[in-house]
Amino acid sequence: MNELTPEQAELLAAAAAARERAYCPYSRFAVGAAVRTASGASFYGCNIENAAYPSTICAERVALFSAYAAGERAIVALAVIADTPEPVTPCGGCRQVMFELAPRAVVILANLRGAWRITSVEDLLPAGFALIDR
């Protein structure tokens, strides 16, 4: 695939806009994310840091948790963007959350230079931990 679909490009643009709202005074590493649900709804997230570092939350989780808080359970796509040399990849904690909350989502990883790649949650976290059947 050489081009993003219009829907994927729109989701990535929404993630880039969400990135602009990141609160990252410690790392200075702003990340944006956006999810789309089967109903067509979109939810956005940015990383939000805290001086008590374990209280920090990643952009991917903000977007996914927002969708779930709104009652949306069928996540079909997730886009993540940051200022990295290659398309950004989610941390291990976010991969596990994606594995449980969005196991079949198309994942678009990108950087600010226009590089992107499409992957799956399964490719990002093969044999993820599960207590319940999905």
The CA distance from 55 to 48, in Å, is 9
Distances (CA, A) of 64 to 2, 77, 113: 27, 10, 25
Residues 90/80, Cβ–Cβ less than 8 Å: yes
Residue burial 91-100, b: 16+ Cβ < 10 Å; e: rest = eeebbbbbbb
Sequence ranges of the domains in the chain: 6-124
> Of the residues 10, 49, 60, 86, which is catalytic?
60
Residue 108 bridge partners (DSSP): 79, 118
Residue 134 pLDDT grade (very low, low, confident, very high; cuts 50, 70, 90): low
Active site residue 60: yes
pTM of the model: 0.94
Class of domain 6-124 as given by CATH: alpha beta
Residue 42 bridge partners (DSSP): 36
pLDDT > 80? residue 1? no
Q: Where are the beta strands (DSSP E) in the chain?
A: 31-37, 42-46, 75-82, 106-111, 116-120
- pLDDT, tens only, 8-65: 999 999 999 999 999 999 999 999 999 999 999 999 999 999 999 899 999 999 999 9
The CA distance from 134 to 116, in Å, is 29
